[in-house]
Chain A
């Protein structure tokens, strides 16, 4: 506060200019590569553009009306919600467990942290193709030897298990990233609080429930929101792993957008689906942020 009082008006102006200049390149890039495509996407959602032809007609809300009566959308929409729900839950539970374990002091913890983080830096396509092979060959052979039919006949080729397999691979790939955020949260907990809890006789799960978990609330909030929105936008991993199949058993809405836009040449309708998916993500993210922030405030 005292520092602010000492600043002259010209100093404020100088800072403002300096900050603006530093901020400007990022702002321009953001406008060009993010805002502009968004606006164009929204405009195209009101057209019948086929993605190839330069002939584009504005058709008002027809695409939006179609979406809400389109039987083709139901299954991918349902799959997307199921996928996002389970990925968010499982990835956060696993990451938190790993973070708690790897926050202890033991010799190989850094090595284990690195190993768990490696899948995060791999391309989603590579991970998809890699696991596609694993499910097709080694896991199928193992399933055959163990007499487990579900594994023997390739889980990716079974309508009942394909989406589950996709959730598993997605968690395998992303758990390291989520774990790192939890680890950062855990390392920020004041040791004095932990020690005071120990003196008071709080141990084990009780300590986790009443001390650790409330104190990593900001990490929990950001992880829940990031994992959920990432899962809703998932495309490349599932594309490489199952291609949405068998049939459309593991088809997510992002794959339907791709198919409608580029395979069925209904780019306008694909853009409409994109707008609706974006709205779903915005609403759910907002809801989560508001609920979880309120929880954080209550803890404070």
Chain B
């Protein structure tokens, strides 16, 4: 009996480890209502009110250390330069920069645990999208409406930074999304000019293959973002580009995730994968970049900041790389690029130094500072009338498209949180051999699962749409 009791105790202690890893949520539950199903422990309204109360500054003249978290490691040097300059002008304020790695999903996961633990960074840079509302709704962000930044930045067409009529974030840079293109490999294969239509793209890859480049299209599908690089290009340019209502129609049942749009997307991807490395599911982005730097492939979907990284990895590539829109269109006249706000900055509502945080925030949006951040990401500054002459040569072909308004935005930024991560998993499954019908069925089921779990999302999405006049 004694042995059994010890065994039971040991088993419980060992199993307890499952919780202790992720436990400790920070918020206390109201015990008196604990037994009542559906009872509100703290109302959303209360949460919102508490977020709007400006916390009191802990020290006015004493040394202040603010923490700034970013998911974009390429910005660190620029941020440190800006904050060093700020420290020289404000000797009592030091801003420490921390990188939260793991891409968008990794950053969001880390932030979720930091916010829950009440130990978030004072300022943080993250992806512009529905995430802002998710944070604001929880009372995690400081109201920035009266900081005056809205007047400084370019017009915000989709106000994803607005929750309940108040601004909680502002975009940092205007960025592009598309294909890295090695022109030297193209020239050696006899490809002249930049492919602008899908047929030209396929023809260019055929020529490259004939010239000895076995896999001209590098796909790093081990990482979810690499697996879905093409998927998002197609969604932005073709699906939502041609029908901006598409996602809303998917949410309301007029369109579905197993409809012809998704089927066409996967069929197009299938054609491209004929030219891609067969080990794509085992290739992560870092190793894919190494291959691209070794000139083993000519095309790869990535952000424009990668161009600089590649030129550092192999200086011989300087001047040979271009950043081009994914050539998905049937006619040259339809040729458009993808450009939109990419990241934004918010202030944590729990910061001990709200005034200092706001001052640093404003400083980041001064033209020369904003330009430094944008330049570090090979993007365009969002500050009105900013100088764009610094824009990298690899992006110069896109400037006329931007000037002519021939671009589409990031469509998925307004989608339900979590769906991108699910898409990444399902696309990997499909590349790994799952048949198309099952893939589309899984997409539909998973999206519905998220919608069922967040019934308020659709209402918020409709509010966002009505504010943009869609």
Contacts and interface: CB of A to CB of B under 8 A. Distances in A.
B44 interface: yes
Nearest to B449: A72
A263 B421 contact: yes
A37 B34 contact: no
Contacts, number: 227
Nearest to B452: A66
Contacts of A52: 112, 115-116, 134-135, 137-138, 140
B25 A267 contact: yes
B222 A246 contact: yes
A35 B287 CA distance: 43
A50 B138 contact: yes
A59 B282 contact: no
A245 interface: yes
Contacts of B47: 53-55
A245 B21 contact: no
Give the contact-size bracket for chain B. Answer: 35 or more
A79 interface: no
Contact of B421 (A254, A264, A290): A264
A154 interface: yes
Contacts of B287: 136-137
B112 A262 contact: yes
Contacts of B41: 47, 55-58
Contacts of B284: 132, 136
Contacts of A128: none
Contact of B281 (A37, A44, A157, A229): A157
Contacts of B282: 135-136, 140, 153-158
A278 B15 contact: yes
A43 interface: yes
Nearest to A285: B11
A293 B17 CA distance: 23
B220 to A, nearest CB: 10
A247 interface: yes
A256 to B, nearest CB: 11
Interface stretch (B78-86, B201-209, B422-430): B422-430
A35 B23 CA distance: 10
A190 B166 CA distance: 77
A117 to B, nearest CB: 22
A54 B138 contact: yes
A295 interface: no
A229 B15 contact: yes
Contact of B429 (A37, A38, A49, A247): A247
Contacts of A71: 445
Interface stretch (B2-10, B313-321, B328-336): B2-10
Contacts of A41: 19, 22-23
Give the contact-size bracket for chain A. Answer: 35 or more
B10 A289 contact: yes
Contacts of B33: 58
Nearest to A70: B449
Nearest to A49: B25
Interface string B23-46: 111010100011111111111101
Interface stretch (A86-94, A98-106, A209-217, A269-277): A269-277
Interface stretch (B145-153, B250-258, B373-381, B431-439): B431-439
Contact of B112 (A248, A257, A265, A293): A265
A192 interface: no
A58 B428 contact: no
Given A41-B19, A269-B453, A159 B432 contact: yes
B292 to A, nearest CB: 15
Nearest to A292: B7
B15 A285 contact: yes
Given A37-B23, A56-B42, A263 B418 contact: yes
A138 to B, nearest CB: 12
Interface string A242-260: 0111111100001001110
A43 B27 CA distance: 12
B279 A140 contact: yes
Nearest to B35: A58
Nearest to B427: A247
B22 A40 contact: no
A72 B12 contact: no
Give the top 4 A-B pairs by smallest Cβ distance, nearest first: A154-B282, A157-B282, A37-B23, A247-B429
11 contacts: A37-B19, A49-B27, A55-B44, A57-B41, A58-B38, A58-B39, A152-B279, A226-B14, A264-B418, A264-B421, A285-B15
Given A156-B222, A225-B14, A245-B222, 16 more contacts: A41-B19, A52-B138, A53-B138, A55-B41, A55-B43, A55-B138, A57-B41, A58-B34, A58-B38, A137-B287, A247-B425, A247-B426, A248-B425, A261-B112, A262-B112, A290-B7
